[in-house]
Amino acid sequence: MKASVRIDTGSVIAPVDDRLYSSFIEHMGRAVYTGIYEPAHPSADEQGFRQDVQELIKPLKLGCIRYPGGNFLSGYRWLDGIGPKEKRPARPELAWSAIEPNQVGTDEFLQWCERTGVKPMLGVNLGTGTPQDAADMLEYVNGSLPTYYADLRRKNGHKEPYDVKLWCLGNEMDGPWQICGKTAEEYGRIAAETAKMMKWMDPSVELVACGSSYRDMPSFGEWERTVLQHCYKYVDYLSLHQYYQNNDGDRASFLARSLEMEDFIHTVAGICREAKAQQQGDHDIKLSFDEWNVWYHFQKDGKEPPKWTVARPIEEENYDMDDALVVGCMLNTLLRNTDTVKIACLAQLVNVIAPIMTEPGGKAWVQSIYWPFLYASRYGRGTALMPEVKCETYDCAIMNDVPIIDCSAVTDGCTLTVFLVNRSEEEVECALELTEQSDTAQITHVFFDDSVERPTEKDCGSYRAVKLPPLSWNMVRIG
Angstrom distance (rounded) from CA 394 to CA 409: 23
Q: Comparing C-alpha atoms, which of 204, 210, 100 is closest to residue 162?
A: 204
Angstrom distance (rounded) from CA 138 to CA 401: 49
Q: So which residues are the catalytic ones?
A: 172, 291
Strand pairing report for 364-366 and 356-358: antiparallel
- For 285-309, b/e burial (b = at least 16 CB within 10 A) is bbbbbbbbbbbbbbeeeeeeeeeee
The CA angle 140-58-13, to the nearest 5 degrees, is 90
Strand pairing report for 119-124 and 64-67: parallel
Q: Comparing C-alpha atoms, which of 338, 349, 402 is closest to residue 373?
A: 349
The residues, ordered by sequence, that sit 6+ positions from 412 with a Cβ below 8 Å of its Cβ are 381, 382, 383
Q: Helix or strand or coil: residue 417?
A: strand
Q: Dump the DSSP string for 58-119.
A: GGG--SEEEES-SGGGGG--GGGGSS-GGGPPPEEETTTTEEE---S-HHHHHHHHHHHT-E
Phi, psi of 475 (to 5 degrees): -130, 130
**Cβ-contact 423, 471 below 8 angstroms:** yes
Q: Comparing C-alpha atoms, which of 345, 353, 323, 472 is closest to residue 406?
A: 472
Name residue 420's amino acid.
L
C-alpha dist (Å) from residue 363 to 26, 50, 420: 21, 10, 32
Paired with 93 in beta bridges are 98
**Cβ-contact 28, 348 below 8 angstroms:** yes
Angstrom distance (rounded) from CA 4 to CA 247: 33
